[in-house]
Amino acid sequence: MSTATAPASDQKINIIPSVLPADYARLGEELQALEKAGVDRVQWDVMDGVFVPNLTFGPDVIKSVRSWVDVPFEAHLMVVEPDRMLQQWVDAGCELVIVHAEACTHLHRSLASLKDMGAKAAVALNPHTPVEAVKNVVDLLDLLLVMTVNPGFGGQAYIKTMEPKIAEAAALLRNADHYVELEVDGGIGPETIDGAVKAGARALIAGSALFKYPEGLEYGVSDLRARARAAVPGLQ
Ligand code: DX5
């Protein structure tokens, strides 16, 4: 589909920070700084120490800072058995919840449950997991997340060999009867965002690269957005 006929939403670039590198002693202020910097959403990297070898936020942490900003929250659940707590993430103020295909025995039911809760539903795919894993649930998806690192930590190197997989995912989603946003996460920065967007990504998760800009968050968000828009003609 040429961008000339693509729905406006498919032409929109979303720059989304991972909260992972933030200063947890000043979480509210950090969120306000991200909102001021012009981010489109905020992603909470939820890790349980089992699905990935790291442990991060619970729903109460997210709930405690929900009122500090208006920007939408999304929860990336890098956890086993995500069905056990779906309602808590929604109640904590996450309007979009991302479960891992690898963690769901009944992925169709997990996604349908999120929709029943009034949340947007999404699936994340680890680098080894084929796009094929979600072809039977595209009708339930609001977003598909293709990981460009092996999840668990920030600051890892972008896995460029994921770009054909991003393109394959984009082709699958273009055939859906509704817009499904294609998001990538891991090692996204000024040197890698071009390749990810050219491959088809429209939502870019940036953690360490964004927080590392010496010019600050506002400059970083603008720079990443400009680089993403320059990658494909017509992107907004
Ligand atoms: C999985 C996490 C990280 C984080 C982004 O490990 O999901 O990918 O969001 O981290 P950076 O942008 O530092 O790679």
Give alpha helix (H) positions in the chain: 27-36, 59-66, 86-91, 107-116, 163-174, 193-199, 208-212, 217-231
Counting residues of the chain whose pLDDT is more than 70, the rounded percentage is: 97
Active site annotation includes 185: yes
For residue 14, pLDDT beyond 50: yes
pLDDT digits (tens, 9 = 90+) for 61-103: 999 999 999 999 999 999 999 999 999 999 999 999 999 999 9
Mean pLDDT over 224-228 rounds to: 98
Residue-wise DSSP of 69-122: --S-EEEEEESSSGGGGHHHHHHTTEEEEEEEGGG-TTHHHHHHHHHHTT-EEE
pLDDT-based confidence at 1, cuts 50/70/90?
A: very low
- The pLDDT value given to residue 60: 98
CATH topology of domain 11-231: TIM Barrel (3.20.20)
Comparing C-alpha atoms, which of 232, 153, 148 is closest to residue 188?
Answer: 148
Residue 110 CA to ligand 1 centre (angstroms):
23
Mean pLDDT over 193-212 rounds to: 98
- The pLDDT value given to residue 79: 98
Pairwise CA distance, residues 82 & 91, whole Å = 15
Residue 35 CA to ligand 1 centre (angstroms):
19
- The pLDDT value given to residue 7: 47
For residue 8, pLDDT beyond 90: no
- The pLDDT value given to residue 3: 45
- The pLDDT value given to residue 9: 80
Best residue among 153, 158, 191 to mutate for probing ligand 1, ranked by most atoms within 8 Å of CB: 153
pLDDT digits (tens, 9 = 90+) for 93-131: 999 999 999 999 999 999 999 999 999 999 999 999 999
Q: Which two tokens stand for residue 106?
A: 């009944």
Pairwise CA distance, residues 143 & 122, whole Å = 5
Our answer on whether the CB atom of 152 is closer than 6 Å to any ligand 1 atom is: yes
Pairwise CA distance, residues 211 & 230, whole Å = 22
Catalytic residue from among 10, 48, 142, 185? 185
**Mean of all residue pLDDT scores within the chain:** 96
Residue 223 CA to ligand 1 centre (angstroms):
19
